[in-house]
């Protein structure tokens, strides 16, 4: 379980709006800002608190998933309906869709939507009915 994830963003206002909508729909609760003004959201699951925070980027280089660093980040969905609901939210908010909801061959019943945050970082929401085996 990831304890916390912090992202640098080129436009704090724009990304705060994006992540407030996305994380709010996933049940995250907004908490206090960091010293640099970046917001934080927390989610409690299985008794563990996990947070996602934003920070203003100090460099203006553009993110790509092909350069060293984060490739993409995926959120669990509890059902296919939750994936579809997020897709509707993304469409209504004119957010960038990379691949609409579909089944993929990664595991039996893998159903996911892929989209991008305002800086082009690739995000995913996936429902996997069969849990990973180790």
Minimum distance of Zn ion from residue 124's CB (angstroms): 5
Q: What is the largest CA-CA distance in the chain?
A: 44
- Nearest position to Zn ion, beta carbon: 74
Nearer to Zn ion, 12 or 113 (CB): 113
Minimum distance of Zn ion from residue 33's CB (angstroms): 29
Residue 100: count of CB within 10 angstroms of its CB = 14
3-state secondary structure at position 125: strand
H runs (alpha helix) in 26-111:
80-92
Residues in contact with Zn ion by CB under 5 A are 74, 124
Minimum distance of Zn ion from residue 29's CB (angstroms): 25
d(CA 103, CA 132): 16
Nearer to Zn ion, 124 or 128 (CB): 124
């Amino acid at each position: 379980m990831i304890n916390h994830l912090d992202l640098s963003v080129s436009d704090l206002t724009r990304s705060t709006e994006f992540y407030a909508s996305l994380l709010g729909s996933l049940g995250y609760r907004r908490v206090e800002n960091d010293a640099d003004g970046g917001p934080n959201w927390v989610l409690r699951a299985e008794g563990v608190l996990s947070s996602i925070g934003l920070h203003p980027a100090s460099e203006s280089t553009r993110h790509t998933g092909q350069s060293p660093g984060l490739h993409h980040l995926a959120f669990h969905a509890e059902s296919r309906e939750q994936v579809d609901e997020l897709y509707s939210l993304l469409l209504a908010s004119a957010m960038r869709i990379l691949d609409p909801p579909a089944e993929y061959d990664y595991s039996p019943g893998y159903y996911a939507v892929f989209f991008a945050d305002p800086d082009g970082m690739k995000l995913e929401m996936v429902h996997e009915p069969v849990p990973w085996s180790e």
